Amino acid sequence: MAKERKTMFDQDIDREIAERMKDEYGVAGSDRELDPRWRASFKIVEEIKPEHGPGEVEGPEQSPSQEYREALINLLEMQADSELAGALGYVPCVKMAPTVEEFLAASMIVKDEFRHARVVYKLLEYLGIDVNARLQEHDFTLRVEEDQTDLGTRRVAADKRVNIFYYPIDTWYDFVAFNFCMDRGAGHQLEDVLESSYKPWARVMEGIFKEEKFHIAHGDSWVRQLAQNPETHDKMQEALNKWYPRTMNIFGRPRSSKNKLYRRLGLKKRDNDEVRQAFAAEVKERCQAFGLQVSEWKPEWERLPEEAFVTG
């Protein structure tokens, strides 16, 4: 796949973290302009002409059709449920933190995910969805036992979270591997939303995306550190082996009909597999630099979901 840049999430890991921590202590930064380098920059393999350009649909009243409304609500429900389940899954990680600074960093990540959930549920409220009823209906704290190691692409309940959020995060290695893999996977998927035809979604995504970049940088910083220390290298490798294939399963199958619909409505820009390949290329590059092996992932398209999940 042709790319204009070496890696979308090309970043100075330490600077990313230092800047965010600085923000947390009250230094201006939350209203910074979005760095143009974060914008989608991949060549589209199969062109589908969108019926609505970026930000063209200004709000719920301007929804152009029932089809548009339903597709939008479906994507927003997947994101909101994933953000909430993700926040709840991260809560136990706060007390795994090895330093005072890391208690703060892990808490910030938890707070970010709850904020993302709230913001996206708000968008659903504006679209007439009864969010409180949704919360009553589903148990977002639900997790499977760790020995159920391969859910494939199966959900285990009726909520719409990405199925990776049904797995428990049991150790600090798992937490940072999850930041490294899943927050990165989510970032790659959410990049398309920055140019979504639904303006309110695109607008809130700018803030969400900045925070996801911090989660990814947090993962990168720790994965690098634990991989390069001979005493912790093997455990880090083990955690990566667990979370990488689980993340590769979230993107959906290539050229799915749902994806084509979302692209036609201007709600997505890229094919599911293009997003997966962008993610995989970046993980590979990082792992090479950190001295880790990326396990082979074999696509089983018939097992993958018809639509890619939007995640947080």
Q: Which stretches of the chain bind Fe ion, using CB under 5 A?
A: 83, 113, 116, 183, 212, 215, 312
Nearer to Fe ion, 116 or 269 (CB): 116
Nearer to Fe ion, 179 or 256 (CB): 179
Q: Which residues, 6 or more positions from 296, have their beta carbon under 8 angstroms from its beta carbon?
A: none
Among the listed residues 81, 285, 278, 297, the one whose alpha carbon sits nearest the alpha carbon of residue 188: 278
Nearest to 200 by CA among 73, 32, 65: 73
Q: Which amino acid is at 43?
A: K
Q: Report angle CA 231, 213, 299 to the nearest 5 degrees.
A: 75
Minimal distance in Å, beta carbon 116 to Fe ion? Answer: 4
Start-to-end C-alpha separation, the chain: 25
The answer to whether 266 and 54 are in contact (CB under 8 A) is yes
Task: Name the minimum Å distance from CB 89 to Fe ion.
Answer: 11
By beta-carbon proximity to Fe ion, the closer residue of 68 and 309 is: 309
Cβ 273 vs Cβ 293: under 8 Å: no
CB closer to Fe ion, 189 vs 277: 189
Nearest distance, CB of residue 46 and Fe ion, angstroms: 28
Smallest separation (angstroms) from Fe ion to the CB of 120: 9
Would you say 119 or 292 has its CB closer to Fe ion? Answer: 119
48 vs 135, which CB is nearer to Fe ion? 135
Give how far Cα 195 sits from Cα of 19, 30, 64, 171, 263, Å: 25, 20, 17, 36, 11
Residue whose C-beta lies closest to Fe ion: 312
Taking the complex as a whole, how short is the minimal distance between the CB of residue 295 and Fe ion, in angstroms?
23
Contacts (Cβ under 8 Å, ≥6 apart) of 288: none
CB of 205 to Fe ion, least distance (A): 10
* DSSP conformation letters of 97-143: -SSHHHHHHHHHHHHHHHHHHHHHHHHHHHTT--HHHHHHH--TT--
Question: What tokens were used for 48?
Answer: 């589908």
Of the pair 50, 185, the CB lying nearest Fe ion is at 185
Q: How far is the CB of 63 from Fe ion (least distance, A)?
A: 25
